[in-house]
Amino acid sequence: MEEKTLKAKHGMPMLIFFILLYLAAIGLIILGGILLDGQNNIGVLPLVVGILWLVIGFIPFLGLKIIKPQEALVLTLFGEYIGTLREPGFYYVNPFSTAVNPAAGTRLGQSGDVDSSSDSNRTQVNVPASKKISLKIMTLNNSKQKVNDVLGNPIEIGIAVMWRVVDTAKAVFNVDNYKEYLSLQCDSALRNIVRIYPYDVAPGIDTTGDGIPDEGSLRGSSSVVAERIRREIQEKVEAAGIEILEARITYLAYAPEIAAAMLQRQQATAIVDARKMIVDGAVGMVEMALEKLNENSIVELDEERKAAMVSNLLVVLCGNRDAQPVVNSGTLY
């Protein structure tokens, strides 16, 4: 169902008109009372009309609607959708029309729509709620989820989604509750995308679907992952008249049960990389030392002495502690 704009009358002239009718009804009651005091039956008619209007005269006032900026009101008349009021102002519509907003009582953990009395991310409250639909940009902070990445490692991840309603008719009539629908689709899209990526860069993993391994990861490609999540959510909520403006990863960590093991793994990887760099540098320095000794003919060493010298230099350069110097006062051989 597509949204259509309701052409409504301005409310202020109608308000003045209804007030005048009430005043006229009071005048008829007074006139009827005066005529009845004069024992004139003609006073019965104005008296009945005045009392009748005082009883039912409130009904037209129900058609007066005030729309604030960035608000909309979806109206139905006897079950038929008649249109949406979008522009801010004071309007008069059919007093028997009904405002529809199935998500009016739903509070999500998001900006401008938070039920602070509850810790739950989704709460149904039993208090009267406005039937108006907010057209403002909202930020949905979905709860953290535990999801397995492509390598099967459990991780915890949370996202924030910026969204707004662009088609009020779809939001109201195409889904049961567009706020709950959005939240559930965010959970689903998050799981679908996260399971494609590893937490850290891993060899042989294809995250783009082109059959070629790449260096995509949740930690290193957060902006790419967030954009894929946004597109995934947008495809799912298109039917609900919702536009997803942006999605961001707000929390990312290994699950507690493997966090310590993964930390040790990262530390071990860092140590191995550091050692590799130290060894590469030490070998280069030994090569340079031998070349200098040969070029300048400072000393001639046989293969056995070269091996001993290389061993000593590598111990000195690669050791964790400072080497203790030993002075040789004898001969080389």
Per-residue DSSP letter, 142: P
Strand duo 145-148 + 89-92: pairing: unpaired
Backbone angles phi, psi at 86, to 5 degrees: -115, -40
Find how far residue 98's CA is from the centre of its chain: 31
Give the chain's radius of gyration (CA, Å): 39
Full-model pTM: 0.71
Q: List Cβ neighbours of 213 (8 Å cut-off, separation of 6 or more).
A: 203, 204, 205, 206
Q: What is the model's pLDDT at position 302?
A: 67
Single-letter amino acid code for the residue at 248: R
Query: Alpha-carbon distance 258 to 239, whole Å?
Result: 39
Q: What is the model's pLDDT at position 191?
A: 92
**Which pLDDT tens digits describe the chain residue by residue (333 residues)?**
788 888 888 999 999 999 999 999 999 888 888 877 766 677 788 888 889 988 998 999 999 999 999 999 999 999 899 999 999 999 999 999 999 999 888 877 554 454 433 444 444 444 456 789 999 999 998 778 889 888 888 899 999 999 999 999 999 999 999 999 999 999 999 999 999 999 888 888 888 888 888 888 888 888 999 999 999 999 999 999 999 999 999 998 888 887 677 677 677 777 777 778 877 787 888 777 777 777 766 666 667 777 777 777 777 767 666 666 665 555 555
Q: List Cβ neighbours of 329 (8 Å cut-off, separation of 6 or more).
A: none
Single-letter amino acid code for the residue at 310: V
Contact criterion met (CB below 8 Å) for 142 and 158: yes
Q: Under CATH, domain 106-254 is a member of which superfamily?
A: Band 7 domain (3.30.479.30)
Query: Alpha-carbon distance 69 to 292, whole Å?
Result: 81
Counts for the chain of helices (H) and strands (E), in that order: 7, 13
Q: What is the model's pLDDT at position 89?
A: 93
Query: Alpha-carbon distance 11 to 61, whole Å?
Result: 10
Q: What is the model's pLDDT at position 67?
A: 93
Q: What is the model's pLDDT at position 19?
A: 93
Query: Alpha-carbon distance 314 to 275, whole Å?
Result: 12
Residue tagged 């490609």 (tokens): 221
Query: Containing H/E element for 83?
Result: strand 80-85
Query: Alpha-carbon distance 51 to 237, whole Å?
Result: 53
- In the chain, list all ranges with CATH 3.30.479.30: 106-254
Closest C-alpha among 261, 114, 103 to residue 182 = 103
Backbone angles phi, psi at 260, to 5 degrees: -65, -45
**Using CA atoms in the order 264, 268, 271, 273, what is the torsion angle rounded to 10 degrees?**
-130
Q: What is the model's pLDDT at position 325?
A: 63
Closest C-alpha among 40, 45, 46 to residue 25 = 46
Query: Alpha-carbon distance 205 to 221, whole Å?
Result: 14
Burial class (CB in 10 A: 0-12, 13-18, 19+), 5: exposed
Between CA 238 and CA 115, with CA 87 as vertex, the angle to 5 degrees is 60
In our burial notation (b when 16+ CB lie closer than 10 A, e otherwise), range 155-182 reads bebbbbbbbebebbbbbbbebebbbbbb
Backbone angles phi, psi at 26, to 5 degrees: -65, -40
